[in-house]
Structure 1
Amino acid sequence: MGKFNEKERPYMDRLLLGLRDRLVHLGVEVHHLSDQNDRPCLEVFDGHLRARRVYAHLAFMWFFWGSLNDERTSCHDLDGAAEVIAAAAQAGWPAEEQGHLGPDLQKILDAYQS
């Protein structure tokens, strides 16, 4: 995953912490942390103690935990997002390594804004 604008960190943290609180309320084990690139994320565990990292993408207002279409949900409804992520965790994360959003979404967004 590419770099992010450090000025976005407070907004990402606010969304992720709100999501974390709702996931905890739903009984999901979750931890707020920063990844190897210092990007804020949530580490969400399934029933087999497999973890997936959930990130906030501000430009598209998504929470995402992989590269597939069903591995993202809107940030606009924290309760709904928590339910989607909790259901995915309860079903069990796939055994394969977590995918990342392939293209640099910021480049795509910049192209449409110019």
Structure 2
Amino acid sequence: MPDAHADGVLDFLARIPAAERSPELGQRALELLTGPAQGSQERREVVITHAYLVGWLVTAALDSPPWRWVSVGAANAGLTIIRYTPRSPSSLLTLNDLDHLPPGLRWTGLPPHLRP
């Protein structure tokens, strides 16, 4: 991780309980939720989860450095779609779409300076 971001990222991580930030949990999520379906049948997964896991999956899908998951600003109830196909890089089709929510509920969970 670049020195310029280390203090902010490490301070953020320190506020998350250790049991919720284990490398094993992150790796297990990648094993279960990423990659093309096996065989010829299409697979669609709906995962309802915390925004931090969305950041982790998006970071992996974009081949970003692992520490970057902390900078993915996913809101509560945001819709993110990642497409995995054989012999192609993963594609981020939708990130944090909130159009399905009434305006008063959009951007809940994010600090005021990040709300539209």
TM-score (norm 1): 0.29
Q: Which is bigger in relative contact order (C-alpha 8 A, separation at least 6)?
A: 1
TM-score (norm 2): 0.29
- Higher share in strand: 1
